[in-house]
Structure 1
């Protein structure tokens, strides 16, 4: 009984699919090596699994690049044309190179423009370019002047507010000092009047005490006179 024909279709089970790929890959590489040794052929293999794993083989007597170059010569096909590299690495590389070139041109243009605004490299400018440059400079000067005046105005208003606050604080402090001096003046006058009244009372007291003494002395004097007359 003969062996039945196996239907070739996608293996649905991921594990079985990966095992089958590993076995078939090994078999293909083995066949490529046999062709290289037995037939002196130049073989190049590039394989990617469904998971993105990369595998390759190339005959020891050559390289992958040499085989691709020979393919282009024989088939008269440009592998690096956008038709073949639409989503490839070389397309991305070319786009990056174009972007880099555009950025360099823009950088040179801006550098030149800055030098012209500084008054350099203006000899090669035409009349219209010089007029446009002059208008731009005048507009920038106006913007700078307006910005400067705005800052000066803000600073002036701020200084006025500070001065006004200081004047109000000074006025308040002077008022407080005047009230304090007035209170101190009243207290000093009251103390002086109290001391003056006390001094007057002491004088009367002293006079009152001295009167009996003066009377005794007078009496004593009068007695002496009486004795002398006798």
Structure 2
């Protein structure tokens, strides 16, 4: 028999408006408050929580929301947010889609960096640095650069030739398609 780790998953369902429902609300509110406090501490941000409870009957129900860290502090945080321009509010707002957009943008940058690193490593493995180059004189290094420039020119010529050839093939196929499709 396997031992289970962690808490059991809570099934989300409608809680009846009775004493047990009120107790469940109080427990969940306490857990939510703990998460909000952790968010505030770990992320170094000011956070407020406004939580409306179950409204059973007039004798036990509270029409006042539960506010953390206190009504005055929460109002201060909300007013500071409202005083921002619409553009700043949009920048400060983080919903699921904007969070995912930011995450995707960050991952694309990381991917680009990793691809560049991989290309460099690949180039080093294909064209390793020869330690004898460390002992070349200035004149020998200049000659080597000139030689590499000539070889690069040959490579660029080959790239241009292949590009032109590819365009010619594409244009030929395209003109054949026009002739084939005409009525």
Judge same fold: TM > 0.5, yes or no. no
Provide TM-score, normalisation by structure 2.
Answer: 0.33
| TM-score (normalizing by structure 1) | 0.27
Which is higher, the Rg of structure 1 or of structure 2? 1
Higher relative contact order (CA 8 A, sep 6+): 2
